[in-house]
Amino acid sequence: MTNEAESGGAAPSAVDEVVARAEALYHDVELSSVQRWRDAHGGAKAVGYMPIYVPRELIHAAGMLPVGLMGGRGQVEIIRGDAWFQSYICQIPRSTIELALTGRYALLDGFLFPSICDVIRNLSGMWKVLFPEKYVRYLDVPQNYDPDVGGRFFGSELRSLYADLCALSGEAPSDERLRASIALYNDNRRSIGRLMELRATEPWSVPAWEVYLALYAGNLLPVEEHTALVDAYIAAARAASRPRRDNARVVLSGAFCEQPPLELIRTLELAGCYVVADDMALGRRWPEGDIEVTGDPIAAIAEAFITRSPATAARYEPHGDRGAPLVQLVRKSHAEGVVLAAPSFCDPALLEQPILQDSLDKERLPWTAFKYSENLGQFQVIREQAGTFADSIKLWSEA
Ligand code: SF4
């Protein structure tokens, strides 16, 4: 995918170059960038993790590369993966198993499976059976958001995880290193925050598929390099002076785990929707805001999780009203409608959807809904649906 139409076939612009680098990482199913990092760091170890949230600071402070694993992204033929799962289940566990069984994850030394849903829990069990030589851990997250209960529980989980990771890498545990890692990830989240603000104010400057690629690159790049890439993208996109179109401003919600195909994201914009907020690659933006860099670093990470986790179907909602955060996001981003996009067979997203629809209806906010899978290949129906939705917003919306 290139911007030739916009650049008129001329030499690649600065923004094209940043996007091309990010897109190459997106297509790197062999994890060759991780191999290059290992080679450049004397064979240092790398630890993979599934969406949505793991505390990457702990992996980084243990001297290893955190590697976000987001399925096959439609680039892997599923042959053996299907044998491990029933047919009525989402796509990401199948492609993840396929990638592992075909050796593409052999260069990873450990795997973290955060608490998202039963599918991921089961996947962690399969991993232990299939890859007994690897470090594998299911990361439980609190279901109680009282800092004295859930905060203490999560702190003890994180301490145990950090001890495991240090044993894996051979590094001695160090609060100082942890605080340095937290500071680097704070920088990263701030850069991403600036990108999100730019998108909310000038969505024509930063197309959704480019923003997604810039976020996705954080799965593979060392944190400092990713921060630099995001900053470079912001600067290049601002300088590109792209034309403003009369698109409808929408929030895309439900894509927090299995990711939509890149072409689907592009299709939404071609259909007349500016995506001004979304929950794709949500782990890149988790927690919201800085983590404290003084005091006990593990307690600080646990506190940030308890108090500043983004709302998502895969997380316990301590305040009860599951629809309120989406309505707030629509208001904050000045969106005119919501696209509820959920992976097929995704229980967390699809069970929450009626609640979200009800909340949006009460606020008279327009929405449309469809399902996707990461290997979806036909986009015409979604293009027509999104185009009709955008047109209806422009013609009749009160939002
Ligand atoms: S897409 Fe949904 S059901 Fe599938 S693993 Fe992710 S959260 Fe679970």
pLDDT for 85-105, tens place per residue?
888 899 999 999 999 999 999
By three-state DSSP, how is residue 35 classified?
Answer: helix
The helix (run of H) or strand (run of E) holding residue 123 is helix 118-130
| Domain assignment present for 146 | yes
The domain total for the chain is 1
Q: Is ligand 1 within 6 A of the CB of residue 120?
A: yes
Residues whose CB falls within 8 Å of the CB of residue 353, separated by 6 or more in sequence, listed in order: 254, 340, 342, 369
| Domain assignment present for 39 | yes
- CATH number for the domain harbouring residue 117: 3.40.50.11890
Q: Would residue 261 be called left, alpha or beta, if left means φ above 0 and alpha means ψ between -120 and 50 degrees? A: beta
CA 52 to centroid of ligand 1, rounded, Å: 10
Q: Which two tokens stand for residue 155?
A: 């702190």
205 close to 237: Cβ distance less than 8 angstroms: yes
CA 258 to centroid of ligand 1, rounded, Å: 6
Q: Is the peptide bond before 52 cis (omega within 30 degrees of 0)?
A: yes
Atom of ligand 1 nearest to the CA of 91: 4
361-390 residue pLDDT tens: 999 999 999 999 999 999 999 999 999 999
20-70 residue pLDDT tens: 999 999 999 999 999 999 999 999 999 999 998 999 999 999 999 999 999
By three-state DSSP, how is residue 363 classified?
Answer: coil
Strands across the sheet containing 273-278: 273-278, 248-253, 337-343, 367-372
Report the C-alpha gap between 72 and 67 in whole angstroms.
14
* Structural domain span for residue 113: 32-177
Please determine, for residue 3, whether its predicted confidence score (pLDDT) is greater than 70: no
143 close to 150: Cβ distance less than 8 angstroms: yes
Atom of ligand 1 nearest to the CA of 120: 5
Q: Is ligand 1 within 6 A of the CB of residue 97?
A: no
CA 116 to centroid of ligand 1, rounded, Å: 7
- φ, ψ at 81 (rounded to 5°): -60, -35
Q: Is ligand 1 within 6 A of the CB of residue 121?
A: no
Q: What is the CA radius of gyration of the chain?
A: 20
By three-state DSSP, how is residue 362 classified?
Answer: helix
Full-model pTM: 0.94
| Domain assignment present for 127 | yes
Report the helix count and the strand count for the chain, using DSSP H and E: 15, 8
Q: Is ligand 1 within 6 A of the CB of residue 343?
A: yes
| Domain assignment present for 295 | no
Report the C-alpha gap between 195 and 332 in whole angstroms.
15
| Domain assignment present for 101 | yes
| Domain assignment present for 236 | no
Q: Which two tokens stand for residue 40?
A: 């450049």
- Position 399 scores a pLDDT of 56
| Domain assignment present for 108 | yes
Q: How far is CA 315 from the centre of its chain?
A: 14
CA 44 to centroid of ligand 1, rounded, Å: 31
Please determine, for residue 318, whether its predicted confidence score (pLDDT) is greater than 80: no
Looking at the DSSP assignment, which residues form a beta bridge with residue 226? Answer: none
The helix (run of H) or strand (run of E) holding residue 41 is none
Q: Is ligand 1 within 6 A of the CB of residue 119?
A: yes
Handedness of CA 93, 258, 347, 388 (dihedral sign): negative
Q: Which two tokens stand for residue 300?
A: 């600080």
Q: Is ligand 1 within 6 A of the CB of residue 116?
A: yes
| Domain assignment present for 224 | no
CA 94 to centroid of ligand 1, rounded, Å: 11
Please determine, for residue 252, whether its predicted confidence score (pLDDT) is greater than 80: yes
By three-state DSSP, how is residue 202 classified?
Answer: coil
**pLDDT > 70: percent of the chain:** 97
